[in-house]
Amino acid sequence: MRGLWLHLLRGGGRSARLEVGLPLVAGGVIALVLLLLVGLQQGLDRRADRTAWRTPEAATNDPTVIQAGFTDYIGETPIAVVELAALTRSPPDVPGMGRFPAPGEVWASPALAELIADLPADQLADRFPDSIAAELTEATLESPGELVAVIGRRPSDPSMDERPSHQWNAASSVTPTEIDGWSTTPDLYQTTYRDMALLAVVLTALPLVGLGGLASRLMAGRRQRRLATLRLLGASTSQVVRLTIAELATFAGIGAVCGAVLHRALVPMVSRVSIKGGSGFPLMSGQTPGSPSPP
């Protein structure tokens, strides 16, 4: 019976090819769009997790660190600055850095380190208390091109209780906060982008499912005639139902596999799209953070 079904399908001419093509295309489009959106949401979620430690949460136990932060600018490009002062002899290691910065020590993102090396000292390097001691890895950054500096301070330094406006052109700041551990709660901007991506997945899923149903209904008449032929030739109702389900599942499944393959091919290009000022590492695939490296 399966051989007869395939014979009828092959003999259907142009309409049979269209009947095969519609579920293939629908399955491919559904898989491609959903995979891209889910990958985007997961990528933004990982980005939010990587940078959550920068938002201090007030200590509920004995504080171990004073954390402050602010945003400076070089031209129109923001520089995220995090200042840390240890309150104990053994402060907790900074996430992604492997240790706690010593007083006066400066860690910079690769993009910021490169910019400091390229610009005259009085334009950027002089803003920092010392030369770059080490480069931050992707485990501490939201995008490869992000400009970030982590500066070690002493608790008695003025920056731990006020903003030194004569040195920095800070557009926004985080009040120095005593903490007993690193925050795992992303800031509002990160969670907003992540939640918007999740909402896009939910709102897109239903129309895409409807697309699959529409593709099936468009060729329902042609399929019914072919199945009626099978019934006249002695096929039972259960056989006809199984063949119908197998036909739709097979073509939609092949289309979904093609969509998944296309998704993998498009990931490198899509990951370069700028979101919240930067691209991902890429956004669509997880990577294991590297270890801190000297500049």
* Average pLDDT taken over every residue of the chain: 76
Q: How many CB atoms lie within 10 A of CB 178?
A: 17
Predicted local confidence at residue 233, as pLDDT: 57
pLDDT tens, residue by residue, 14-62: 555 556 667 777 788 888 888 888 877 777 777 778 888 888 889 999 9
Listed range (21-25, 31-35, 142-146, 215-219) with the worst mean pLDDT:
215-219
- 36 or 123, which is more confident? 123
Which range of residues forms the domain containing residue 77?
Answer: 56-182
Q: Are residues 265 and 213 in the same domain?
A: yes
Query: From CA 231, how far away is CA 203, in angstroms rounded?
Result: 41
- 244 or 68, which is more confident? 68
pTM to 2 decimal places: 0.66
The owner of tokens 């142009």 is: 14
Q: What are the C-alpha distances in Å from 210 to residues 41, 204, 253, 259?
A: 22, 10, 16, 17
Which of 137, 156, 182 delimits the end of a domain? 182
Q: Are residues 99 and 206 in the same domain?
A: no
Which of 158, 182, 206 delimits the end of a domain? 182
DSSP reduced 3-state for 164? coil
Question: In this structure, which amino acid lies at residue 125?
Answer: A
Report yes or no: 61 and 214 within 8 Å, Cβ to Cβ. no
Report yes or no: 160 and 66 within 8 Å, Cβ to Cβ. yes
Instruction: Give per-residue burial for 89-111: e unless 16+ CB within 10 Å, then b.
Output: eebeebbbbeebbebebbbbbbb
The residue count for the chain: 295
Which of 182, 201, 220 delimits the end of a domain? 182
Token digits for 293?
Answer: 């490296």
pLDDT tens, residue by residue, 184-196: 876 666 667 667 7
pLDDT tens, residue by residue, 232-245: 656 566 766 666 67
End-to-end CA distance of the chain: 70
Q: Are residues 92 and 200 in the same domain?
A: no
Query: From CA 8, how far away is CA 72, in angstroms rounded?
Result: 70
How many alpha carbons fall within 13 Å on the CB side of residue 42? 11
Query: What is the number of structural domains in the chain?
Result: 2
pLDDT above 50 (res 285): no
Q: Are residues 172 and 62 in the same domain?
A: yes
Q: Are residues 105 and 204 in the same domain?
A: no
